[in-house]
Structure 1
């Protein structure tokens, strides 16, 4: 092989090697960001509608509440889990407690998948539903009817719902859907939130399995919190995969993109 050909081969090898290094560095940076700082999630069910709709994609802050047992799960893709393990710790590391009204990604004790709900009860609170109305420490939470809507779940079942603006005692405001005020979870016993735990509820009150169902969700230990939902960055109808770009013109919800989930 001539000297010039040998030099060209070495140059090509170096270029390939540099490309591989750049790709590996980018992947490592992405993994670090996803593990420690921010992680994207998607919404497959109707339990948080209208705040988070089926097909919404949002980014969640992983460091604001510190790190717990499940903080370094990198998520699932169908039946494949990229990374999922429990940290051998008994308390959260760094961070602060969530506030009432925050939207939390967490792992219920009896489950091995992530849930997303709103923080309704703080440690020591008494929570109860009576005829569809939420009571916190014996005081009925204020709600104001703002209209009607059609709510469709992940099975395609559409129901007319009443839309309410609900205001927590600290003044934080959010919107909820109610099919009726006499559903299975609209009249409950009084729940007393244990120390170091939180009580979670979906904004779609009659279509949410949440802390009201003690056998499947129940009280959520602080150590099982994963991240605080922050902002939607993409939204598409009917859980259509985002890579199907040819479906975007008719199905992307452009008005829901790049917005805080607290608006």
Structure 2
């Protein structure tokens, strides 16, 4: 009887060890190499859709305190923020094994004030002057070309776990109707292109801004869905993103692994068949 109890006790200990080792390995992998990211909003349409699941390449720009994962499990009362875990490395706006991001990269970064992970396109580099006029970006006084490329269409219906309803450029659209946005191909000075969406142009909206002078060691980000993006055009004082410090970059989004059009990525019957291993342009 004693031997059986001892064997059972050893089995439990070995199981606990296995779980702990697995969690440690997963933690190291997530901290150093790739971090999973599920797109919760439509700010990067059509490049990224609500429900896209991707891995963020954390080796692209090196490592900082923001490279530490935030672990939040509300049901278990666990709330470990990257600042709490690795805050000792914060403060100098530097990185280990640092790499410089390129204009046009789709980047996951830590919000400078609230610590939330955001994903946007890098538009302004340190020293740049950025302005948006009638939806057109100017970099250092030179407009960034946009060419019309038809319309982006989607169903007017709640999307994703937050059941967000898309905005439409073709006027009021009833539930289940076809929602349209204008599509433009935008070309940065370096020659790389991507698609952006437009819903409306209004004075005083983020489609018309002041000139932003990007400080050294900081970056300026915008969403591809220009009229539905809380980004660097909105200052941190107004609960926006503002300029993002270099140390707040987490990694580059390179490829979508799969995509779910439903409320959960576990609903495999809602997966989009055309987005498996799709490159992020």
TM range (shorter): 0.7 to 0.9
Measured against aligned partners, the alpha-carbon deviations of 1:16-60 in whole angstroms (never above 9, x if no partner) come to 544443333222111100112110011111101111111111100
The question of 1:74 aligning with 2:35 is answered no
Aligned to 1:225: 249
Q: Measure, in 1, the Cα distance between the counterparts of 2:78 and 2:185.
A: 38
User: Which runs of 5 or more residues in structure 2 are unaligned?
Assistant: 169-179
TM-score by length of 1: 0.87
Match of 1:157 among 145, 163, 166: 166
TM-score by length of 2: 0.82
Measured against aligned partners, the alpha-carbon deviations of 1:138-183 in whole angstroms (never above 9, x if no partner) come to 1111121111123567521341211111111101111111112336
Aligned to 1:103: 106
Q: Measure, in 2, the Cα distance between the counterparts of 1:187 and 1:78.
A: 39
Match of 1:191 among 197, 212, 223: 212
CA drift of 1:15 comes to 5.0
Aligned to 2:228: 207
CA drift of 1:109 comes to 1.8
The question of 1:242 aligning with 2:265 is answered yes
Q: Please report the RMSD computed on the Cα atoms of aligned residues, expressed in angstroms.
A: 2.3
SS at match of 2:31: helix
Aligned to 1:182: 202
SS at match of 1:241: coil
User: Which runs of 5 or more residues in structure 1 are unaligned?
Assistant: none
Q: How many residues align?
A: 253
Aligned to 2:140: 137
